[in-house]
Amino acid sequence: MALCRSVQGSIDDAVLEKDDRSPVTVADYGSQALVCRSLAASRPSDPVVAEEEAGALRRPEQSTFLARVGRELASVGVEAEGKTICDWIDRGSSQPCQRFWTLDPIDGTKGFLRKGHYAVALALIIDGRVEVAALGCPQLGDPAAGGLVYWAVKDQGARVAPVGNPNDSRPVQVSDCQDMRLARLCESVESAHSAHDRSARIAEDLGLGGQPVRLDSQAKYATVADGAAEIYLRLPVNDTYREKIWDHAAGALVVSEAGGQVSDTHGRPLDFSLGRTLSANRGVVVTNGPLHERVLDAVLASTPSDQHGDGNHD
């Protein structure tokens, strides 16, 4: 996360104006290299299914870019040659299997670029179930001190601690709110990720009082898990998009171990046993638990007619 913060801190407006995504790419590659390197050392036989791969980075014309990733790694004390860095990144190119880790090295790219929320999300999946999760949220808590890390182990609860200070941890617990008028909703900043007009109708239906809190990345799961919001909706913007496992695995376990509830928009549990996507699910509904059925009813009532059905027809 120190590497991500370093890269995010060096983004300047000129780079953004040119629509050059290189800062985020440096951070994506650097973060994936570091996490895969550490999994290679601690869990050498575990495959990793990660978002990025190093193919483009290995091309000779990308040597300057690769050197930049190397400099960022060196800035956090990891010296390595370009080929070694690419090999670390490509440890993340495994296929989902009986036991594997899934990694999103930078979740919430757009938030990262606008210096907003993003997350580093890692989860262990065994037999299609998320067993362990770690969710780094550099912009939650005290961003100047590095933010917060949430983690959870199935059936053992969720905890959070400031980055670099695991001994200062506390349990994570969802809010006990049962009153819709007090419930707080969070959703994606990007309307391409979740249908805002539909969630506004649902919020009105439910009688939610406040404005939606818009936040990039799985920091939304952390926000519900930690009792700072009661509802997170990710509503399908079309019927073809399938959610990626690394965008949800870590957050879903942190919320459920904090006492909350996670399902898709039809009330089905998220199914992590089907490969790189949640192909049997449509959208995501996350709540503190007591509100879940009422939220689901409102979501189903608002479902566009072309998105009804069992979701398994493809």
Smallest gap from Cβ 247 to Mg ion, in A, equals 8
Residue range at the interface with Mg ion (CB under 5 A); choices 41-49, 100-108, 196-204, 270-278 = 100-108
Smallest gap from Cβ 179 to Mg ion, in A, equals 36
Crossing angle of the two packed helices 196-206 and 292-301, in degrees rounded to 10: 120
Binding mask 158-197 for Mg ion (x = CB under 5 A): ----------------------------------------
- Note if 28 is an active site residue: yes
Crossing angle of the two packed helices 2-9 and 22-42, in degrees rounded to 10: 170
Tokens of 94: 């495994």
Task: Output 37 or 292, the one with its CB closest to Mg ion.
Answer: 37
Residue range at the interface with Mg ion (CB under 5 A); choices 3-11, 65-73, 104-112, 256-264 = 104-112
Asked whether position 106 contacts Mg ion by CB under 5 A, the answer is: yes
Contact 187, 216 (CB under 8 A): no
Residue type, 180: M
Residue range at the interface with Mg ion (CB under 5 A); choices 101-109, 139-147, 210-218, 264-272 = 101-109
Task: Output 57 or 106, the one with its CB closest to Mg ion.
Answer: 106
Alpha-carbon torsion angle 106, 111, 117, 120, nearest 10: 0
Smallest gap from Cβ 99 to Mg ion, in A, equals 22
Asked whether position 51 contacts Mg ion by CB under 5 A, the answer is: yes
Smallest gap from Cβ 109 to Mg ion, in A, equals 6
Task: Output 202 or 246, the one with its CB closest to Mg ion.
Answer: 246
Contact 91, 49 (CB under 8 A): no
Task: Output 48 or 172, the one with its CB closest to Mg ion.
Answer: 48
Smallest gap from Cβ 117 to Mg ion, in A, equals 13
Number of residues that bind Mg ion (CB under 5 A): 3
Task: Output 202 or 245, the one with its CB closest to Mg ion.
Answer: 245
- Note if 109 is an active site residue: yes
Q: Which candidate in 102, 109, 223, 287 is catalytic?
A: 109
Asked whether position 226 contacts Mg ion by CB under 5 A, the answer is: no
Contact 183, 206 (CB under 8 A): yes
Residue range at the interface with Mg ion (CB under 5 A); choices 66-74, 103-111, 175-183, 190-198 = 103-111
Nearest one of 106, 85, 87 to 22, comparing CA atoms: 106
Task: Output 104 or 226, the one with its CB closest to Mg ion.
Answer: 104
Smallest gap from Cβ 201 to Mg ion, in A, equals 30
Smallest gap from Cβ 131 to Mg ion, in A, equals 22
Task: Output 51 or 230, the one with its CB closest to Mg ion.
Answer: 51
Strand-pairing partners, residue 262, are: 286
Distances (CA, A) of 84 to 31, 70, 71: 14, 10, 14
Binding site for Mg ion (CB under 5 A): 51, 104, 106
Residues marked as catalytic? 28, 109
